[in-house]
Amino acid sequence: MTTSTLAAVIYEQGQPAVVETLELGDPGPGEVMVKIGGTGVCHSDHNVYSGYRKTEDLPTILGHEGAGIVEKVGAGVHGLDEGDKVVFAIRPMCGKCKYCSTGRWNLCSPITSHTPTAEFRKNETKYFGGVATFTEHTVVWENNVVKVDSEIPLDKAALVGCAVITGVGAVVNRAKVETGSTVAVWGCGGVGLNVIQGAYLAGASRIIAVDINADKFQYATQVGATDTVDASQTDAVEAIRGLTGGGVDYAFEVIGQPATLRQALEATCEGGTAVLVGAAPDDGEVMIPMRHLFLDRALIGCSAGTGRPRYDFQWLIELYKQGRLKLDDLVTRTRPLTEVNEAFRDMEAGAVARTVLVP
């Protein structure tokens, strides 16, 4: 049996997404079909849409930051039932590879992952995609979803799967920011705002939000920024050195540009750490003065918040329920899935913190 489902498809990078009806097969062994309840529009989707990051796997179905309800369960699936609320994990969690075995779930080896046997089809076309949440229904490996508290609204839960785990996780799992530290964050989009709220949760003493769009600072302040620097008006590195008397302990680049990564490193104090969260362009390279690293500075990357989805999603949702993790303020617009291209335009214009598409 197949299920008809709307899906946002990229046939050619640099061209608008096409929202159309595809046929989706039933979940095979170890797979589940999820009815999408909400899916956030992340800049990583925009990178595929725009061609900032090239892909050969076309046509591709976008979307990875999602939450929904399990609708069909394949044979041999354990711990997931029809009606369960789930959040998607960007990376699978096989539980067996070197990385899973050493607690580094975000690096789970693609070699051991499972591509669903259920495919999206229209005529003979084969569609690529990850968890493919810019849809009404998707089928994924059981290890790509985490069952979560049934009380959390799906349009808010969606953010936990990417923006929240990536941002908060970069602070607490990867950088391990200590209470009292000073922090600067380049880029106050959906992910950067979660780095800011992660730094707030970690007890950072100073949280400096950097952006070239001053409209973003209202959101940054709402989630815990203590200072703002408009990099379109001022030299951000100088401003941060001035505010902190020599540089921050931790600087997070959450844009994905070589120039801002270099700025982030330069804004750290001696012994400080710069963390690359933004997704690099395919040919992105950055030159850094060797003497910077000599003075005990570190430059590190962070994928998916160095997250352990089965564990981290639960405590993040618990903090949301207690009012300590802000998600309602971050979903500044919801749109139907059919308006995915308008949502990308809002992102380009800096008109939103996060858009959630609701099929």
Residue ranges that bind ligand PAD, judged by CB under 6 A:
42-44, 47, 162, 166, 186-192, 210-213, 216, 231, 254-257, 260, 277-279, 302-304, 347, 350
> CB 94 → Zn ion: shortest distance, Å?
3
- Residue 207, interface with Zn ion (CB under 5 A)? no
Q: For the chain, how long is the longest CA-to-CA vector?
A: 65
> CB 143 → ligand PAD: shortest distance, Å?
18
Tally Cβ neighbours within 10 Å of residue 33: 24
Q: What is the signed CA dihedral for 164, 221, 212, 297, rounded to 10 degrees?
A: -70
7 binds, among ligand PAD, Zn ion, none (CB under 5 to 8 A by kind): none
Beta carbon nearer to Zn ion, 108 or 255:
108
Q: Residue 67 in contact with residue 160, Cβ under 8 Å?
A: yes
Q: Within positions 74 to 113, which residues make up the interface with Zn ion, using CB under 5 A? A: 94, 97, 100, 108
Q: Within positions 10 to 49, which residues make up the interface with Zn ion, using CB under 5 A? A: 42, 44
108 binds, among ligand PAD, Zn ion, none (CB under 5 to 8 A by kind): Zn ion
- Residue 157, interface with Zn ion (CB under 5 A)? no
> CB 333 → Zn ion: shortest distance, Å?
17
Beta carbon nearer to ligand PAD, 32 or 185:
185
SS3 state at 102:
coil
- Residue 31 to residue 137: CA distance in whole angstroms: 13
172 binds, among Zn ion, ligand PAD, none (CB under 5 to 8 A by kind): none
Helices assigned H by DSSP within 182-322: 190-201, 217-222, 236-244, 258-266, 290-294, 309-321
- Residue 165, interface with Zn ion (CB under 5 A)? no
Question: Taking CA 341 as the corner, what is the angle to CA 340 and CA 347, rounded to the nearest 5 degrees?
Answer: 90
Which tokens hold the place of 56? 């050969």
Q: Which residues contact 102 (CB under 8 A, 6 or more apart)?
A: none
In the block, residue with structure tokens 């090239």: 54
- Residue 118, interface with Zn ion (CB under 5 A)? no
The contact set with Zn ion (CB under 5 A) reads 42, 44, 94, 97, 100, 108, 162
